[in-house]
Structure 1
Amino acid sequence: MADESGLSYDIRKAVRHLRRVDPELRRLIPRIGACKIQLAGHKSPYEALLRAIFYQQLHGKAAATILQRFKDRFGAGHLPTPEQIVAADTRSLRAVGLSRQKIAAIRDLAAKTIDGTVPPLAEVRRLPDDEIIQRLTAVRGIGVWTVEMLLLSQLGRPDVLASSDYGLRKGFQIVYRKRRLPKPKDLHAFGERWRPYRSVASWYLWRAADAAKQVKSKNSRKAR
């Protein structure tokens, strides 16, 4: 059953499951409120990964500026095709502000899109999560975390747990009252109980981390 948010699963069913299997989430969920996972558009894997490469290790505004210059370089106001990237010379790509490492990454992405390693959107929707991770991390500069975010926010997969994510680990530390951040492998093992709705559990842990950050910021302002 598709959820009204556009997801392929029923969030309400997922929430009921999490409340049943985890006492801490049962207490957290009413405090946070309704889960509001929303799909971030319908970009192809090629488009999503191309944007991800631009935003790696850059502040959002700087990355957006370089990305716009990149689009303008190809004259159409939108992202170029893989074939256009492969044909572009290094000097023109450097001129828009791309590092040599990022040029190598986007060229590899373009080549792997052309040869089918990176599948089109219609195909990727039919693939299991593990295969998507395997195929997309074959692209230079693309790690597991990037693909997990694509699975969760672009494809709306229900059972994604990005256990290396700092915000997720911080949320877990807060909700479960741990002295230290959990190691990714420990969070992964703990999260087995949340299957098949680890994406929804992740959303609530992220919100818990956000709420704690807001409280800390508010208290800091009061102390000034």
Structure 2
Amino acid sequence: MAPSPKVPLPAVPDYAPPYWAQACQHLVKKDRVMRRLIPQIGSEALASRGDPFVTLARSIVGQQVSVKAAASIWKRLEALPPAMEPAHLLRLKVDDMRSAGLSARKVDYLVDLSIHFTEGRLHADRWPEMDDEAIISELTAIRGIGRWTAQMCLMFYLQRPNVLPLDDVGLIKGISQCYFSGDPVSRSDAREVAEAWKPWATVATWYIWRSLDPQPVAY
């Protein structure tokens, strides 16, 4: 049998994680959907904001809402303090935060997150040396941060290469559309599909998200 023709890969942008090109090469060889999506989406990649507080706060805002709605709420929230930093957020009035579109529960979560940062209860400086599950355990001890939110931090702040957020609605929907013709997909189905993505599940997840939404996900 003749070998499959080599897929021309798009140029990798400067802001991409250092492993992005290697991951794309692996994925187009191992996965038929990635073989189509990666060239189709072009020279884009996951971008980090370089700030653990902002990444976690954006992830809380993004819980259970669409990418578009989350971006709109964040824009209004970001306009309230002089800078999006824990100490500044703690000085905001609850009513002002609610008027930005946040639920009372999310306001509580953001306040609790800010307190953890201002009181030094989080050890972000140690995260680069910690494994994924240890970081998830530390983060999920904070009210309002579940496994999904912690995984967004792993992906977007630490840029860990092999994160598979099975609680992500968009990922499950994208796997359903791309691999199962829109049929319902279980977590075990998704996990089976993602076997071919290892050790680059973060990259494949980002491309699945982009297959659904022209606006890149960025926490």
The TM-score with structure 2 as length reference comes to 0.71
Higher helix share: 1
- Is the contact made by 2:46 and 2:156 (CA closer than 8 Å) also made in structure 1? yes
Given the superposition, is the C-alpha separation of residues 15 and 54 from structure 1 closer, same or farther in structure 2, using an over 3 Å criterion? closer
Partners of 2:97 and 2:111 lie apart in 1 by 15
Aligned positions of 1:109-120 closer than 5 A = 109-114=113-118, 116-120=120-124
1:39 maps to amino acid: A
1:182 maps to 185
CA distance in 1, matches of 2:159, 2:127: 12
- Per-residue Cα deviation, 1:183-222 (whole angstroms, up to 9, x for no partner): 22321233123111111211222233347xxxxxxxxxxx
Taking the aligned partners of 2:172 and 2:56, their CA distance within structure 1 comes to: 24
Paired residue total: 195
Deviation at 1:129, TM superposition (A): 1.8
Matched, 1:26 2:35: yes
C-alpha RMSD of the superposition: 3.1
C-alpha distance in structure 2 between counterparts of 1:35 and 1:158, whole Å: 18
Counterpart in the other structure of 1:204: 207
Aligned residue in 2 for 1:78? 83
> Structure 2 vs 1, CA of residues 17 and 6 (structure 1 numbering), >3 Å: closer, same or farther?
same
- Match of residue 105 from structure 2: 101
Taking a change above 3 Å as real, the CA distance of residues 209 and 49 of structure 1, as seen in their structure-2 partners, is closer
Matched, 1:40 2:69: no
Query: Which whole-Å CA distance do the structure 2 matches of 1:174 and 1:84 have between them?
Result: 39
Q: Give the partner amino acid of 1:25.
A: M
Rounded Cα–Cα distance in structure 1 between residues aligned with 2:44 and 2:62: 24
Identical columns (%) = 29
CA contact (8 A) 1:157 1:199 kept: yes
Q: Given that residues 54 and 102 in structure 1 are in contact (C-alpha distance below 8 angstroms), is that contact kept between their aligned partners in structure 2?
A: yes
Give 1:54 shift: 4.4
| Cα pair 1:35 1:200 within 8 Å, conserved | no
- Residues 155 and 52 of structure 1: is their aligned pair in 2 closer, same or farther, counting only changes over 3 Å? same
Which structure has the larger Rg over C-alpha atoms? 1
Aligned residue among 125, 136, 139 for 1:136 = 139
Residue 222 of structure 1: aligned partner: none
How many angstroms does 1:68 deviate by?
Answer: 2.5
Question: Aligned-pair distance for 1:156?
Answer: 1.9
Distance, in Å, in 2 between the alignment partners of 1:171 and 1:63 is 24
* Structure 2 residues without counterparts, runs of 5 or longer: 1-11, 215-219
For 1:12-58, what per-residue CA distance to the aligned partner results, in whole angstroms no more than 9, with x for missing partners? 2212212232244334444x254621323211x22322344345567
SS at match of 2:49: coil
Task: Return 5+ residue gaps in structure 1 as ranges.
Answer: 72-76, 212-224
What amino acid does structure 2 have at the position aligned with 1:111?
I
SS of 1:13's equivalent in the other structure is helix
Contact 1:173-1:179 at 8 Å conserved across structures: yes
Q: Residue type of the partner of 2:57?
A: L
CA contact (8 A) 1:105 1:141 kept: yes
